[in-house]
Chain A
Amino acid sequence: MQVSFLWERFKKGDAAAFETLYNNHIDELLRYGSRFTRDTTLIEDCIHDLFVRLYERRDSLNSPNSLKAYLLTSLRREILLNIKRQNVPQKDISQSEFILDIDIEQAIIRSELKQEQLEQVQQVLDSLSDRQREVIFLSFYNGLSNDEISQILGINNQSVRNLLSQGLKRMRSETQLPSLLLITTLSKFI
């Protein structure tokens, strides 16, 4: 309700609404963007372009069901196109890499987990496919629904569920860590 009100105000050209949109979503966008590349300038440029385009096209935009999913989708497309243009050998968008690295040094300080355990988690994460990592990230970190994730990735709902459950199952079986620990660890240190 509040979101759609904000959106309507933004569509009418309200600068304050636009600013609020930016402030509400910039952290999430930056975080999501940095999963694809370590090139901060590229991410900044993409976010810049995303918001500029959003503003320019506000008249013709429909109200998205999920604003967050809409913004993440747009950013994802923007970043992947740019990565492609930078001719990093990226065969196509579905094969783009998705970095999900635990900052182990920080994790040791903050959690009760031992370094070996953290490294084990990281190993499992590395063994997952990029898309599995992305689904886990979107689901766990951004708290997005399967529908929203399927919209962002451009795959159907069932595929999202499969990716997620396969990923989780594998992590549980290979790390032998309790799932909650696993999730909270991931959440804290990615």
Chain B
Amino acid sequence: MDQKKINELLEQEGFIQWLFTSSPESPWNSWYKQNLENRQLADKLRTELKSFPLKGDDAERVNKFLLRNRIAETIARSTSANRRGYLLKVTKWAAAAALVGIISVSALILNGRKLIVTPNGAQQAIVLPDGSKVKLNSGSSLAYNSFLWKLTPSVTLEGEGYFYGNHQKGFGVKTSIGKVKVLGTQFNVYSRNTKYRVECYQGKIQVGTSLLNKHEILEVGECFSADMQSKKVYRELLYSQITEPRWTSGEFYFEKARFEDVLNELERQFNIKFARKDSFKNLSYTGYFNTKDVNVALKMTLSPLGIGYKTSRNEIILTEKE
């Protein structure tokens, strides 16, 4: 080998680089292709440079076989540990997902809660999730859950409400006193204080209260009432000519009713307040009023019992007539 020539080559820029890297953009590529001598020279240099034995490194001092076994052992151990870790991870995620699910479902349930309150002096019509309707009398409230409706269609009522319209499947009406199961119909539910009354105007309904051992089925024109105070239940017939509760058209009929109930109804319908109610509450009243005019209504209810009244700022004071 021509030492001088080699030295000259090595001094030249990029040659050593090219020897090692064979980078294709190097000008030495064309030099390499020029003749056989160049090719042999370069190849020899390359092999010499690349195939030397190393001294002073740790390659010989390390037992490569033992190291390999150690790696294999760790991998075997970690893969079984990983599988356990993987399961744990999966359970963790599953738990998280379940939690998110529970939270969002409860959010939907909470969000689905609806409460409708009709104040005194007003009436209100509501459409239920199944498309049927409720008319709420004054001073009543209705609660239901639109999200859970499909699962358990039911409403909670306090006060008085008339249910009508087309029920698709029927639903339940709960009050603090009793429970009505609708089988596709029109009916009125009254539940105030200790009094409970259900009137059936169309179809069939099933009524239950704590005073009954088993459910009562009401047919068209039938009425069921219960008094929690006297613990008595009644079944009566409605006047055959009415097809919906009279209160929905602003008319109130009473038959041997406790006068307290009449006064309460007046308060609700006209959003008024009576003073000295207690002196008259146990009177019995049979009669009628409508919601067209408060003065007419007061006259129609109070005068037959010989009760007078004075209007003060925000109260109507009841007085015994002289």
Chain A residues close to B by CB (< 8 Å): 19, 22, 26-27, 30-31, 33-35, 40, 43-44, 47-48, 51-52, 55-56, 101-103, 106-107, 139-141, 143-146, 161, 164-165, 168, 172, 178-180, 183-184, 187-190
Stretch at the interface among B70-78, B121-129, B201-209, B288-296: B70-78
A-contacting 9-mer, from B45-53, B176-184, B186-194, B255-263: B45-53
Is B241 part of the binding interface, using a Cβ–Cβ cutoff of 8 Å?
no
Q: Tell me, yes or no, whether B240 is within 8 Å of chain A by CB.
A: no
Taking A22-B68, A184-B52 as contacts, is the C-beta distance between A143 and B20 under 8 angstroms?
Answer: yes
Interface of A is mostly: helix
Query: Is B17 positioned at the interface, with any CB of A under 8 Å from its CB?
Result: yes
The docked-state distance in angstroms from the alpha carbon of A3 to that of B75 is: 22
Interface presence of B23 (CB below 8 A): yes
Tell which of B13, B23, B75 touches A145, judged by Cβ atoms closer than 8 Å. Answer: B23
A138 vs chain B, min Cβ distance (A): 10
Closest B residue to A29 using CB positions: B59
Q: Is the CB of A44 within 8 A of B74?
A: no
- Tell me how far the C-beta of A136 lies from the nearest C-beta in chain B, rounded to whole angstroms: 10
| Residues of B with C-beta under 8 A to A34 | 56-59
Residues of B within 8 A of A43 (CB): 58, 62
Interfacial chain B residues near A103, Cβ < 8 Å: 55-56
Given contacts A40-B62, A187-B52, 12 further A-B contacts (CB under 8 A): A26-B68, A27-B64, A55-B71, A103-B56, A139-B17, A143-B20, A145-B23, A178-B10, A180-B3, A180-B45, A189-B56, A190-B54
Chain B residues closer than 8 Å to A190, beta-carbon distance? 54-57
Q: Does B6 sit at the interface, judged by CB under 8 A?
A: yes
Q: Among residues 11 to 33 in chain B, which have CB atoms less than 8 Å away from a CB atom of chain A?
A: 11, 13, 16-17, 20-21, 23
Rank and list the top 7 A-B pairs by shortest CB-CB distance, nearest first.
Answer: A179-B10, A187-B52, A34-B58, A103-B55, A145-B21, A103-B56, A178-B7
- Chain B positions within 8 Å of A, measured between CB atoms, are 3, 6-7, 10-11, 13, 16-17, 20-21, 23, 45, 48-50, 52-59, 61-62, 64, 67-68, 70-71, 74-75, 78-79, 82
A55 touches B75 (CB 8 A): yes
Chain B residue nearest to A31 in the complex (CB): B57
Evaluate whether A140 and B78 lie within 8 angstroms (CB atoms) in the complex, with A26-B64, A31-B59, A190-B54 already known: no
Contact yes or no, B78 A56, CB < 8 A: yes
In this complex, what residue of B is CB-closest to A40? B58
Pick the residue among B7, B55, B71 that contacts A106 (CB under 8 A): B55
Residue pair B10, A164 in contact (C-beta under 8 Å): no
Q: Is the CB of B71 within 8 A of A52?
A: yes
Query: Known: A31-B54, A180-B6. Contact between A47 and B17, CB under 8 A?
Result: no
Cα–Cα, bound, A107→B50 (Å): 17
Cross-chain contact A164 with B58 (CB below 8 angstroms): no
Of all chain B residues, the one with the shortest Cβ separation from A185 is: B52
Say how far A140's CB is from chain B's closest CB, in angstroms.
7
Chain B proximity of A155: nearest CB distance (Å): 16
- Inter-chain contact A44/B10, CB cutoff 8 Å: no
Assess the B58–A33 pair: CB atoms within 8 A.
Answer: yes
- Could you list 8 A-B pairs, sorted by A, with CB under 8 Å? A22-B71, A33-B58, A34-B56, A43-B62, A52-B71, A145-B23, A178-B10, A184-B49
Question: Chain A CB within 10 Å — which of B3, B48, B68 has the most?
Answer: B68
Q: Are A51 and B55 in contact (CB under 8 A)?
A: no
Q: With both chains docked as a complex, state the minimum distance between the C-beta of A176 and any C-beta of chain B, in angstroms.
A: 11
